[in-house]
Amino acid sequence: MTLSDQATTDEPVRPSAPRWRKPALVGAGVAGATLAIAAWNPTDSGTPLCWSQGFLGVDCPFCGGLRCVNSLVRGDWLAAADHNVLLAVALPVAAVLWVVWMVRSLRGERFELPRVPTLAWVGIVVFLVAFTVARNVGGPAWAEWINSGVYRS
């Protein structure tokens, strides 16, 4: 088969989707979920939704996350940090990264997150385990402050 025969037998090439499509879809999905959390207001029920809280009675690293998002949407960063300080810091950083991704995509540029070394992933896991342990011990005020405050509004 020659090169000219191959060109006539192949299916037509579909144009690729615009570069901004993926960040726009991600943004729309996150915005929809965030609006649902804001409308539902998880602080109203006082019932833990986290499996580790419901079955084991301990806070996982993400316990209080829904209430944290709800507080961030309402502009109350301190309440968000009271529910989950880790997410109260990480979610605004993720939002800034999404904006950079969207702007670069609209300009037609590629956006890639930096490659995270294996040792850094190990450090992240160790930090999450330490955070989980620290938020579940009773005692000093700082340990009480970083727990999810399941029954606090």
Query: Is there a domain that residue 108 lies in?
Result: yes
Euclidean distance between CA atoms 106 and 9, whole angstroms: 35
How many residues does this entry show for the chain? 153
Q: Is the pTM of this model over 0.95?
A: no
23, part of any domain? yes
In a domain, 138, yes or no: no
Contact 128, 140 (CB under 8 A): no
Pick the more confident residue, 141 or 82. 82
Structural domain that includes position 84:
19-41+50-114
What are 70-114's pLDDT values in tens digits? 999 999 999 888 888 899 999 999 999 999 999 999 999 999 988
Q: Is residue 6 part of a domain?
A: no
Task: Give the pLDDT band of residue 13 (cuts 50, 70, 90).
Answer: low
The per-residue pLDDT for range 22-60, each reduced to its tens digit, is 999 999 999 999 998 888 877 666 555 677 777 887 888
How many domains is the chain built from? 1
Q: How confident is the model at residue 153 (pLDDT cuts 50, 70, 90)?
A: very low
Name the nearest CA neighbour of 68 among 138, 128, 147: 147
Whole-number Å distance between alpha carbons of 142 and 144: 5
Tell me whether residue 27 is exposed, middle or buried, using C-beta atoms within 10 angstroms of its C-beta: 0 to 12, 13 to 18, 19 or more. Answer: middle
Is 77 within a domain? Answer: yes
In a domain, 100, yes or no: yes
- The three-class DSSP label of residue 89 is helix
Residue 78 located in a structural domain: yes
At 4 the pLDDT is 55
